[in-house]
Amino acid sequence: MRRRPLLALAVATAALLTACTAEAEHKDDPAAPKPGTLRVLASSELSDMTAVFDRVRKDTGVTIRPTYMGTLDAVDLLARGKADGAYDALWLSSDDYLRLRPEAAKKVVSETPVMSSPVAVGVKPATVRALGWKPGSVTWSQVEQAVQDGRLTYGMTDPARSNSGFATLVSVASALSGAQSALTDADVAKATPRLKEFFKGQKLTSGSSGWLATAYRRRGTVDALLNYESVLEGIPGLTVIRPRDGVVTADYPFSSLAATGARTREDVRKVTADLRTDAVQQLITETTHRRPVVPSVRPAAGLDTARRRELPFPGSRSVADGLLDSYENELRRPSRTVYVLDTSGSMEGGRIAALKKALAGLTGDFRDREEVTLMPFGSAVKSVRTHVVDPGDPEAGLDAIRRDTDALSADGGTAIYTSLEQAYDQLGAGKDAFTSIVLMTDGENTAGAEAGDFDGFYRALGGSRREIPVFPILFGDSSRSELQHIADLTGGRLFDAQQGSLDGAFEEIRGYQ
């Protein structure tokens, strides 16, 4: 597996540490929050909790200051020690990953479930009727059969970056393998032929639940979404089905981090207690469609209260990594991406060096069967080089990408729109692949076609090409408004390398490819 390791071995119990030094450091750090503010590393789907954060601040005087990140990336940050001193609390959709990574789990000293949401299937009502399904009795095997019959297509988030995607993958693999307990390597091997057929139905992928919902509504070409119940309940026009043969459920524990001192932990305790009061639990379920964990509070209207089998999370790194590797390199549709890369004169020096470094690092993340096209441009497109990562000899394709990356040089103007038009022409009518365009530029358009020309070009596209999103990267002196317009027009998303890093922006986009 060429991807960086995402999960690690064994069971972990949180080590109770005293870290008064962290509190002392906060006093001298001008970037540290004032007393009464908790810097929380949170799963990205918790961005819908603003009303709850406001209520907690009113009740306790403690302000929650969230930084949103994918669950798997957040666990990796903890494991590498990068969260020490930077965050005071952790609020992920699940702490199951921590239990597989001892080096991450030892950073946590408490974890209290706050709410829950099971994996579910959201289906268009017309599709439910056409399939003859009774929502309360549908199984994963029925979903599989509908996919095999060509009667159901769906979207889901990337399991390698999103907990909702991985929880869905575990749910499907457990159900189709017939596993009676936590998945084993043998279960994954047994289920692989059926999983290959199942994932032929996946026509939409995403690094976040929010963008997945937006893309679903925009395209209107898939029949269903696989995600957490709470996400699906928030999308009008879906019939939410909870497969009766079992699902994985997120329990959203609020956790205190070991690198904090007594004062911060007391703030975490106050916030946790308030989150579990009847009033706040009612607010959570009514505003986010998640289920309360306090028995005295009823779930919001529309949330099915029938019991479902809870499927266990994998108990070892080998199973979790093996399942992810299988999904990335065998089960899912391959990726097909054109990287439209600004190599104009303004990229000379540190900027072109940063681009080369980011692309070289990205080669370790390319999947088997992936098609990668590098399209550097200045005043016009300079070259078009396409490489495929052949499962039989992946290093040949990756080495070719590295050589082309190393050969990039900076000169000329900035023909953004002409280059984008050529990227769409390069992709043609498309193949059975997740297809996208990544645009990286450090400036505004100075040559070739103008914005209005590209708008007309894009709107004249037909069929599958109209569904190809552009993911622009804001870098250097590029225009946010110009790049945001491109993202909005094509159904993509803007990634910011001005506030973050170019490496991080390229890596984050991987969840959408």
DSSP secondary structure, 223-288, as one string: SEEEEEHHHHHTSTT-EEE--TT-B-EE--EEEEETTS-HHHHHHHHHHHHHHTSHHHHHHHHHHH
Average pLDDT over residues 105-130: 96
Confidence of residue 27 (pLDDT cuts 50, 70, 90): very low
Average pLDDT over residues 121-134: 97
Does residue 463 surpass a pLDDT of 90? Answer: no
Q: Is the separation of the CB atoms in 264 and 27 below 8 Å?
A: no
Q: What is the pLDDT of residues 146-193, one digit of tens each?
A: 999 999 999 999 998 888 999 999 999 999 998 878 889 999 999 999
Q: Indicate the length of the chain as a whole number.
A: 513
Please give the pLDDT value at position 146: 98
Handedness of CA 215, 216, 222, 224 (dihedral sign): positive
pLDDT greater at residue 33 or residue 110 = 110
Residue 158 CA to residue 156 CA, distance in Å, equals 7
For the chain, the first-to-last Cα distance in angstroms comes to 18
pLDDT greater at residue 4 or residue 177 = 177
Q: Is the separation of the CB atoms in 371 and 433 below 8 Å?
A: yes
pLDDT greater at residue 15 or residue 139 = 139
Q: What is the pLDDT of residues 260-314, one digit of tens each?
A: 999 999 999 999 999 999 999 999 999 999 999 999 999 999 898 888 888 888 8
Name the residue type at position 120: A
What's the token pair of residue 186?
């043998």
Report percent pLDDT > 70 for the chain. Answer: 93
Report percent pLDDT > 90 for the chain. Answer: 77
Does residue 3 surpass a pLDDT of 60? Answer: no
Q: In whole numbers, what is the pLDDT of the chain averaged over residues?
A: 90
Please give the pLDDT value at position 428: 82
Among 32-36, 45-49, 184-188, the least confident range: 32-36
Average pLDDT over residues 441-462: 95
Q: Is the separation of the CB atoms in 36 and 61 below 8 Å?
A: yes
pLDDT greater at residue 20 or residue 483 = 483
CATH numbers and ranges of domains, the chain:
20-115+251-292 (3.40.190.10), 117-249+307-327 (3.40.190.10), 334-512 (3.40.50.410)
Please give the pLDDT value at position 350: 95
Burial-class residue 413 by CB neighbours within 10 Å (0-12, 13-18, 19+). Answer: middle
What's the token pair of residue 184?
């084993």
Does residue 2 surpass a pLDDT of 80? Answer: no
Please give the pLDDT value at position 33: 54
Q: Is the separation of the CB atoms in 511 and 162 below 8 Å?
A: yes
| SS3 at position 336 | strand
Confidence of residue 430 (pLDDT cuts 50, 70, 90): low
Does residue 29 surpass a pLDDT of 70? Answer: no
Please give the pLDDT value at position 305: 83
Confidence of residue 28 (pLDDT cuts 50, 70, 90): very low
Does residue 18 surpass a pLDDT of 50? Answer: no
Please give the pLDDT value at position 34: 63
Average pLDDT over residues 40-54: 94
Please give the pLDDT value at position 30: 38
Please give the pLDDT value at position 479: 94
Please give the pLDDT value at position 73: 84
Average pLDDT over residues 85-106: 91
pLDDT greater at residue 504 or residue 123 = 123
| SS3 at position 375 | strand
Rounded to 10 deg, the angle between the 185-198 and 140-148 helix axes is: 40
Handedness of CA 217, 172, 254, 278 (dihedral sign): positive
Whether the pTM exceeds 0.85: the reply is yes
What's the token pair of residue 444?
């505004």
Residue 337 CA to residue 470 CA, distance in Å, equals 10
